[in-house]
Structure 1
């Protein structure tokens, strides 16, 4: 089994029940595409793929993606104006990837650009936690992190996004 760059094995809480920092709350609670929102707040956007591979779904994630043994793990950093702003981790069950072939090889394309264009997309509740992250090119910090289970044509996928310190430098805060 492959080990993700960042482990999501921690306590999560419903976002609406949490006290969130005012500067991050609109980002954490964003119900639409985080990718689209990031692109609106920076001049140059890019995706850096850290890890992408098929692997066993960790036991602690199995309640979120029931009946899933194998999944495609994808870890990325979303860069805005050459600043690492968001760490993203997605878990796509084998049955989801097999049915929705464009998800099989996203490369440096943002996942949000694909899934939010699909009419059959439903988002589960947003959960939050704080994670200590150490990432290549992005340093180490305690970061607010959100996750949601999406259903695309009734096929599940899990997306988690950690808001890195450079988020404070986006034009949205100027």
Structure 2
């Protein structure tokens, strides 16, 4: 049996998730349209750091083309980063910038270890325009991208969101995986139960 690259349930908008399937601790994190970077910084303070795992030119998958609503786009820049609090990985993020967006906004290829949220939300350059949520596990493309960074005992699944961010009229795709067992959403879940 090969790797399943499409989810069996699929990504869903927050409104499509039945209340009984919503994790109370993490739900506000998944659905917040504002800057994830800012929210993480509020929780971790000076302990928050970003590590650039990889940046590469890549072909867009049919699912990415569909989500981006860009049938003419075939290539883009993929940037994968981790947000850490001290040495704990809290969030794995993957940003896909289609070539057309990159031509119009070349600064997106020059972020290095600067969080995307600092530029997009901090400088008012863009906004989140579409959001979907899933619980991903082994076999899902996003989980498999994160797996090398999950340590020797990776979780069987984690909550993730993918969103379209509009920057100067152009779209980019951002996926965030909420991984850390020590993440602030865990403490919120403990107080909610």
Does the TM-score normalized on the shorter chain lie above 0.5? yes
Aligned residue in 2 for 1:130: 135
> Does the C-alpha gap of structure 1 residues 16 and 162 become closer, same or farther in structure 2, counting only changes over 3 Å?
same
The answer as to 2:154 corresponding to 1:140 is yes
Deviations 1:2-44 (A, max 9, x none): xxxxx97421011122132111011111110000000000131
Q: Is the 8 A contact 1:41 1:171 kept in 2?
A: no
Q: Is the 8 A contact 1:86 1:167 kept in 2?
A: no
Deviations 1:43-64 (A, max 9, x none): 3111111220111111221112
- The residue matched to 1:42 in structure 2 has which SS? helix
Which of 38, 58, 61 does residue 61 from structure 2 map onto? 58
Q: Is the 8 A contact 2:163 2:174 kept in 1?
A: yes
Structure 2: runs of 5 or more not aligned: 138-142
Relative contact order (alpha carbons < 8 A, sep ≥ 6): 1 or 2 greater? 2
Alignment partners' CA distance in 1, 2:184 and 2:168: 36
Structure 1: runs of 5 or more not aligned: 1-6
Aligned residue in 2 for 1:158: 173
> Does the C-alpha gap of structure 1 residues 25 and 167 become closer, same or farther in structure 2, counting only changes over 3 Å?
farther
Alignment partners' CA distance in 2, 1:24 and 1:72: 29
Q: Is the 8 A contact 1:72 1:94 kept in 2?
A: yes
More strand by share: 1
Deviations 1:63-103 (A, max 9, x none): 12202111100111111232100010111011211211221
| TM-score normalized by the length of structure 2 | 0.78
More helix by share: 2
The answer as to 2:79 corresponding to 1:77 is no
Aligned residue in 1 for 2:42: 40
- Which stretch shifts more, 114-123 or 87-96? 114-123
| TM-score normalized by the length of structure 1 | 0.86
